[in-house]
Amino acid sequence: MSNWKIRFLGILLLGAGGYLFVFAVRDLSSEWPQIFVGLLSIFSAAMGFGFLIMPLEPAGDPSSSSKDDPPIP
């Protein structure tokens, strides 16, 4: 996936989590569906936030950094 698709998926999941939270609190009156939808809203919001802050480029290529470092005896 390209970078913008992952970021867009994160924003979409955050929005879905917020909507599910409001739906669970406002519209559901039964206890167990409210708990499950509330947990699903927290999970989707956490996954969306994780997709937004996830680094997408690798930290560094180990083969290129070993060329600059002296050999270890």
Domain extent at residue 32: 8-54
pLDDT of residue 61: 55
CA distances from 23 to 35, 58, 61 (A): 11, 38, 46
| pLDDT (tens digit per residue) in 38-57 | 999 999 999 999 999 998 88
In a domain, 61, yes or no: no
Length of the chain counted residue by residue: 73
In a domain, 24, yes or no: yes
In a domain, 59, yes or no: no
**Number of domains present in the structure of the chain:** 1
| pLDDT (tens digit per residue) in 2-39 | 888 999 999 999 999 999 999 999 998 999 999 999 99
Comparing 71 with 38, the larger pLDDT belongs to 38
How far is it, in rounded angstroms, from Cα 38 to Cα 26? 11
In a domain, 12, yes or no: yes
Say if CB 41 and CB 26 are below 8 A apart. no
In a domain, 45, yes or no: yes
Say if CB 44 and CB 16 are below 8 A apart. yes
The answer to pTM > 0.95 is no
